[in-house]
Chain A
Amino acid sequence: MLKLGTVEFKSRLILGTGKFSDTATMIKAIEASGTELVTVALRRFNREKPSDDLCAPLAKLKNITLMPNTSGAMNAKEAVRAAQLGRELSGSPFVKVEIHPNPHHLMPDAIETYLAAKELAADGFIVLPYIPADPVLAKKLEDVGCAAVMPLGAAIGSGGGLSTAEMIKLIIRDSNIPVIVDAGLRAPSEAARAMEMGCDAVLVNSAIAAAKDPAAMARAFALGVETGFAARQAGLMPKSDVAVATSPLTSFLK
Chain B
Amino acid sequence: MPHLPDWLNPEPWLKHTVSAQEVERALSAESPDESTLAALLSPAAADFLEPMAARAQALTRRHFGRTVQLYVPLYLSSHCSGGCAYCGFAADRHTDRHALDFSAVEKELDAIHAMGFEEVLLLTGERSSQADLDYLRECVRLAARRFHNVAIEVFPMAEEEYRSLAEAGCTGVTLYQETYHPETYDRMHRWGPKKDFFQRLEAPSRALTGGLRFAGLGALLGLADPRYDMLALYRHVRHLQKTHWQAGLTVSFPRIRHEAGGFVPPHPVDEKMLAQIIFAFRICLPDVPLVLSTREGAAFRDGMAGIGVNKMSIASKTTVGGYGSEGSKEGQFDVSDDRGLDEFCAMLRAKQLEPVFKNWDGVYRLTA
Residues of A whose CB lies within 8 Å of any CB of B are 18-23, 25, 42-46, 48-49, 51-52, 72-75, 77-78, 81-82, 85, 101-106, 157-159, 206, 209-210
Contacts and interface: CB of A to CB of B under 8 A. Distances in A.
B288 A104 contact: yes
Given A42-B361, A52-B116, A210-B65, A78 B367 contact: yes
Contacts of B245: 101-102
Contact of A85 (B116, B248, B288, B363): B363
A210 B61 contact: yes
Nearest to A72: B364
Contacts of A85: 361, 363
Contact of B349 (A22, A81, A158): A22
B246 A101 contact: yes
B273 interface: no
Contacts of A43: 148, 358-361, 364
Contact of A19 (B65, B118, B349, B357): B65
B236 interface: no
A98 to B, nearest CB: 12
B61 A44 contact: no
A43 to B, nearest CB: 5
B260 interface: no
A104 B59 CA distance: 13
Given A22-B352, A206-B62, A74 B357 contact: no
A85 B288 CA distance: 28
B287 A72 contact: no
A157 B358 contact: no
B66 A19 contact: yes
A73 B364 contact: yes
Contact of B357 (A42, A46, A77, A103): A46
B67 A19 contact: yes
Given A46-B118, A74-B246, 17 more contacts: A18-B65, A19-B64, A20-B354, A21-B67, A22-B354, A23-B354, A45-B358, A48-B116, A52-B357, A72-B364, A74-B213, A75-B367, A82-B363, A85-B363, A103-B246, A104-B241, A105-B287
17 contacts: A19-B64, A19-B65, A20-B66, A21-B66, A21-B352, A23-B354, A44-B358, A46-B118, A46-B357, A49-B118, A52-B355, A52-B356, A78-B367, A81-B367, A101-B246, A159-B62, A210-B65
Given A22-B349, A49-B116, A101-B246, A82 B63 contact: no
A123 to B, nearest CB: 16
B248 A42 contact: no
A48 B146 CA distance: 11
B249 interface: yes
A137 to B, nearest CB: 20
Contacts of B61: 19, 210
B247 interface: yes
Contacts of B355: 52
A81 B363 contact: yes
Given A43-B359, A73-B364, A104 B65 contact: no
Contacts, number: 96
B354 A21 contact: yes
B199 to A, nearest CB: 26
B353 interface: yes
Given A52-B358, A104-B287, A78 B63 contact: no
B353 A21 contact: yes
A206 B287 contact: no
Interface string B340-357: 000000000100111111
B363 A104 contact: no
A102 B62 CA distance: 17
Interface in B20-74: 61-67
B65 A206 contact: yes
The listed residue with most A CB atoms (<10 A of its CB), out of B61, B62, B67, B363, is B363
A49 B357 contact: yes
B217 to A, nearest CB: 14
Contacts of A77: 367
A51 B354 CA distance: 10
A107 to B, nearest CB: 10
Contacts of A106: 287
Given A72-B360, A75-B367, A77-B367, A157 B353 contact: no
Nearest to A158: B62
B11 to A, nearest CB: 27
B58 to A, nearest CB: 9
Contacts of B287: 104-106
A104 B249 contact: yes
B287 to A, nearest CB: 4
